[in-house]
Amino acid sequence: MKSSRRKFIRMAGFAALGWSICPSLAGAAVEAGPKLYFKGEEQLSATQWAMAVDTKKLTRQVMNKCIEACHTLHNVPEIDSNQNIKWLWIEPFRNLFYDQSHPNLTDMANKPFLALCNHCENPPCVRVCPTKATFKRPDGIVLMDFHRCIGCRFCMAGCPYGSRSFNFFDPRRYLEQLDPEYPTRTKGVVEKCEFCAHRLDKGQMPACVEASEGALLFGDLSDSSSDVRRALRERYSLVRKPKLGTGPNVYYLI
Amino acid sequence: MLEKAIKGNVLYWGWLFFLLAIIGVGAGAYMMQLEQGLGITGLNRDVSWGFYIAQFTFLVGVAASAVMMVIPKYLHNFKAFGRMLILGEFLAIAAVSMCLMFIIADLGQPQRLMNVLLHPSPNSILFWDMIVLNGYLFLNLLIGWVTLQSERKQVAPPKWIMPFIYLSIPWAVSIHTVTAFLYAGLPGRDFWLTAVMAPSFLASAFAAGPALLILLGLAVKVFAKWDPGKESIQALAKIVVYAMSVHLFIVACKVFTAFYSQIPDKLYHYKFLYLGLDGHTTLATFSWVAIAAGVIAVIILLNPRNRQAENVLAFSCILILLSTWIDKGLGLISAGFIPNPMKQVVLYTPTQPELLITLAIWAKGFLILTILYKVAVGVKKEIEA
Contact in structure between A238 and A251 (CB atoms under 8 Å):
yes
How long, in residues, is chain A?
Answer: 254
Residues of chain A positioned with their CB less than 8 A from the CB of B37: 167-170, 187-188
Find the residue in A nearest to B115 (Cα).
A131
pLDDT exceeds 90 at position A32: no
Contact flag B48-A132 (C-beta cutoff 8 Å): no
Going by C-beta distance under 8 Å and a sequence separation of 6 or more, which residues neighbour residue A23? none
With b meaning 16 or more CB within 10 Å and e meaning fewer, what string describes A209-236?
Answer: bbbbeebbbbbbbeeeebbbbebbeeee
pLDDT at A53 over 90: yes
pLDDT of residue B145: 93
CB within 8 Å: A158 and B37: no
Q: Which residues of B touch A82 (CB under 8 A)?
A: 44-46, 346
> If residue A89 lies in a helix (H) or strand (E), which one and from where to where?
strand A89-92
Residues of B whose CB is below 8 A from A98 = 342-343
Q: Which among A81, A168, A244 has CB closest to B37?
A: A168
Sort B357 into a burial class: Cβ within 10 Å, 0-12 / 13-18 / 19+.
buried
Mean pLDDT of A27-34: 44
A24 vs B186, higher pLDDT: B186
Is the predicted pLDDT of residue A27 greater than 70, yes or no?
no
For residue A99, pLDDT over 90 is answered with: no
Mean pLDDT confidence for A96-114: 89
Q: Which residues of B touch A131 (CB under 8 A)?
A: 112, 115-116, 118-119, 121
Tell me if the bond preceding B339 is cis, omega within 30° of 0: yes
Residue A19: pLDDT band with limits 50, 70, 90? low
A:144-203 residues touching chain B, CB 8 A cutoff: 148-154, 156-162, 165-170, 186-190
Q: Which residues of B touch A95 (CB under 8 A)?
A: 342-344
Q: What is the distance in angstroms between the Cα of B217 and the nearest Cα belonging to chain A?
A: 36
Q: Is B127 helix (H, G, I), strand (E, B) or coil?
A: helix
Q: What percent of chain A has pLDDT over 90?
A: 73
The 10s digit of each residue's pLDDT in A227-236 is 999 999 999 9
From B151's Cα to the closest Cα of chain A, the distance in A is: 33
Output A11 or B371, whichever has higher pLDDT: B371
Q: Which residues of B touch A159 (CB under 8 A)?
A: 188, 341
Predicted ipTM of the assembly: 0.92
Instruction: With a cut of 80, say whether residue A10 has pLDDT above it.
Output: no
Instruction: Say yes or no to pLDDT of A168 above 70.
Output: yes
The distance of B88 to chain A (nearest Cα, Å) reads 30
pLDDT, tens digit (0-9, with 9 covering 90-100), for A197-218: 999 999 999 999 999 999 999 9
> For chain B, where are the E strands, in sequence order?
none
Q: Kindly tell me if the per-residue pLDDT of A106 is higher than 90.
A: no
Question: Which of B35, B56, B115, B345 to substitute to test the interface with A, most A CBs within 10 Å?
Answer: B115
CB-based contact A150 B112, cutoff 8 Å:
yes
Q: For A49-72, what is the mean pLDDT?
A: 96
- Residues in chain B closer than 8 A to A132 (CB atoms): 119, 121
Instruction: Kindly give the pairing relationship between strand A250-253 and strand A49-54.
Output: parallel
Q: Which of B108, B109, B344 sits opposite A95 (nearest CB)?
A: B344
Whether the CB-CB separation of A104 and A94 falls below 8 Å is answered with no
A147 has pLDDT over 80: yes
Q: Say whether A74 sits in a helix, a strand or coil.
A: coil
**Taken in order B95, B101, B105, B108, is the CA torsion positive or negative?**
positive
Whole-number mean pLDDT of chain A? 88
Residue A44 pLDDT? 87
Burial A79-117 (b: 16+ CB within 10 A, else e): beeebbbbbbbebbbbbbbbeebeeeeeebbeebbbbbb
Single out the residue of B105, B106, B129 nearest to residue B116, CA to CA.
Answer: B129
Query: Which of B102, B121, B343, B348 should we substitute to test contact with A (largest number of A Cβ atoms within 10 Å)?
Result: B121
Residue B223 to residue B237: CA distance in whole angstroms: 21
Query: Confidence class of residue A35 from pLDDT cuts 50, 70 and 90?
Result: very low
pLDDT on residue B113: 94
Q: Per-residue pLDDT for chain B (385 aa), expressed as one digit of tens each?
A: 778 888 888 999 999 999 999 999 999 999 999 999 999 999 999 999 999 999 999 999 999 988 998 899 888 988 888 889 999 999 999 999 999 999 999 999 999 999 999 999 999 999 999 999 999 999 999 999 999 999 899 999 999 999 999 999 999 999 999 999 999 999 989 999 999 999 999 999 999 999 999 999 999 999 989 999 899 999 999 999 999 999 999 999 999 999 999 999 999 999 999 999 999 999 999 999 999 999 999 999 999 999 999 999 999 999 999 999 999 999 999 999 999 999 999 999 999 999 999 999 999 999 999 999 999 999 988 888 7
Count CB neighbours of A184 within 10 A.
Answer: 17
